[in-house]
Amino acid sequence: MISFIIRRMGQLVLLLLGISFIVFMSMHIAPGDPATIIGGPTAKESDLEAIREDLGLNKPVFVQYVDYLKGILQGDFGYSYQNSQPVGEAIATRLPNTIKLAVSSMIVAIIIGLIAGMISAMKQNSWLDVTSTTFALVGVSIPNFWLGAMLILVFAVNLQWLPVSGLSEPFYTMDGMKQLVLPSITLGTASAAIIARMSRSSMLEVVKSDYIRTAKAKGVKHKTVIWVHALRNALIPVITVVGINFGALLGGTIITEQVFAINGIGRLMIDAIAARDFPMVQATVLLVASIFVIINLIVDIIYVKVDPRISYE
Amino acid sequence: MGNLLEVNDLTIKFRTAKATSTAVRNVSFSLEAGETLCIVGESGSGKSITSLSLMGLLPENGEVSNGSIRLNGEELVGKTEEELRKIRGNEISMIFQEPMTALNPVFTVGYQIQEPLRIHKRMSKQEATVKSVELLKQVGIPNPKEKIHQYPHELSGGMRQRVMIAMALACEPSLLIADEPTTALDVTIQAQILDIMDDLKEEFGMGVVFVTHDMGVVAEIADRVMVMYAGDVIEVNDVQTLFEDPKHPYTKGLLGAVPNVDDETQEMKVIPGSMPSMEDDIPGCRFHPRCPMAMDICKEKKPALIDVGKENAAVRCWLQEVDTNADTTIAASGGFENVLSD
């Protein structure tokens, strides 16, 4: 297991190298010159040249890339073109908000998705099943910028139960939790829907299997058959879906942070792209990619714990 | 003393999208403690459904529509799910066909054997562990102390079926139902498993209902045989008589289809046609479309189970009526075409 983790971390390094190259190059190929944005509309050509000289933008692209990699190896992600703030510092202040949002959304998605899926499977073709599968279909279909706006309109503006935006309070306080409710529902709904569909079909398949009949033949109580014998087997494919969805969910934070005015990595990335803030864009993309790969690694480790048939030796 | 198991006039129906169809018709049989009854038939004969009904484990769209199942005089038909649950794995146990899929892949062998002990005998974890090691030893599994920590996928098919047997026998049931327990195993393992089952039957004094389509297995393990065809019992007899003097053309066909390695000149005989599905409405004897000796009456009237000479021996065939009257015999399996000839 340890050697598996080490191997996967090695793959992560190679993957990040590839991603950094693609992002670096695409930023330089894309139209728009950072110098004109930093200098502003009134800047003279000589000023722009000075800015380029200062940022190293007049060097050949490959030299710039190698310089950038050298910086990363020393833990230096460069300075923001917009406000000269160290990129690492900017990320460090924004990351907790994104993690709060992503984790709470995933919790919402798993809880709602699993409960809906299990109820559906247990009461197949009942009105509960129909309601839950309809929810699942609608859930994956609704774009989350629209869902977010509607939730704000209903629960924050009209009913005034929850705050409109922001994520400034610590999550363990009442206010902090209230701030999390709407964004995590907005972001978690699509994943909840997918998890619900997966757990429903997985559970329906498992309850028909021979070992469930064996458990019944032993005189195991119905509840134990479902929650012990069936659930653990049904969870195996669900875990895969949860892992993959975490990636989609990270992408979704960009929009959700925008809708709820949350100062997270997503907004940082959008602003940086608009401002041609190369170092900031590169660092945020690398960060999101790393998180995605690490989540997948965690999923693979959880597999081994749930399904004894899987081993990485 | 009464019989261990008494099944009377058992009829099982299935609801399908289109209609209700009958899978098992008016089946009656009995079983004494220490006796092995083989239920024989092709796929679709109703043999597995009959055995599942004894456990109260029919699929959701199936139900016992008529008849009674008595275990030690106690009626099982009509019992609630909770009452049946207390009997399952305790007084009646079942071994299934596929040892590969019949064990839960995510729990250890030990956990799965201990489960019935903890449920029915209310044993503590330690007691159940000790007992499960003992059970594994009884079914001939080497290193039982290590094996209880292993998962099903770490064991071979034969070992898994031994685990299934250990699990089924954990609470020392009075009735063991085995639904083709050796079909998925290769022949040498098959023989070992049959030996173990036979030994343990003696040891525990259980009655065994053994469902199979393999006449070789029947010869090895049965005391009595009940042949089923398309939901009907068509012949019942003790194993010796059934093999030496089969009465029903279908039974003769089954026996004729068993290859004999010692006889080089033997040609495989097959029963032409295939088993009707339970939706098919066949007037008269349900076997007549495939029967080489079908007479006019077979197409019109269904024969009754006719007693043949002694207790617990009967056959459902018009020929038998003719037979008893005219006292003629029919050569065993003589009427079937030799498909492999030429």
Interface membership of A216 toward B (CB under 8 Å):
yes
Per-residue confidence (pLDDT) for residue B333, from 0 to 100 = 39
A90-270: CATH architecture: Orthogonal Bundle (1.10)
- For residue A222, the chain B residues in CB contact (below 8 A) are 81, 85
Contact at CB, A210 and B94, closer than 8 angstroms: no
CA A157 to chain centre: 27
- Range of A41-45, B142-146, B319-323 with top mean pLDDT: B142-146
Interface membership of B164 toward A (CB under 8 Å):
yes
From the CA of B14, how many Å to the nearest CA of chain A?
17
What DSSP state is assigned to residue B88? B
Whether complex ipTM tops 0.90: no
* Banded pLDDT at A124 (limits 50, 70, 90): confident
> Which residue would you say has higher pLDDT here, B97 or B38?
B38
Measured CA to CA, the distance from residue B22 to residue B10 in angstroms comes to 11
What tens digit of pLDDT does each residue of B144-161 get? 999 999 999 999 888 999
Report the run of H or E that residue B25 belongs to, with start and end. strand B20-31
- Closest-CA residue of chain B to A303: B106
Interface membership of B110 toward A (CB under 8 Å):
no
Measured CA to CA, the distance from residue B5 to residue A233 in angstroms comes to 36
Measured CA to CA, the distance from residue B98 to residue B181 in angstroms comes to 7
Contact at CB, B106 and A232, closer than 8 angstroms: yes
What DSSP state is assigned to residue B89? T
Portion of chain A with pLDDT greater than 70, in percent:
100
Do B87 and B124 touch, CB atoms closer than 8 A?
A: no
Contact at CB, A233 and B105, closer than 8 angstroms: yes
Residue B330 has pLDDT above 80, yes or no: no
Do A288 and A281 touch, CB atoms closer than 8 A?
A: no
C-alpha triplet A290, A291, A295: angle, nearest 5°: 120
> Which residue would you say has higher pLDDT here, B199 or A42?
B199
- Range of A19-23, B1-5, B129-133 with top mean pLDDT: B129-133
Phi/psi for B20 (5° steps) reads -100, 130
Closest partner residue to B104 (CB to CB) among A215, A219, A221 is: A215
Q: What is the mean pLDDT of residues A177-182?
A: 88
| Domain layout of chain A by residue ranges | 90-270
Domains and CATH numbers, chain B: 5-222 (3.40.50.300), 228-326 (no CATH)
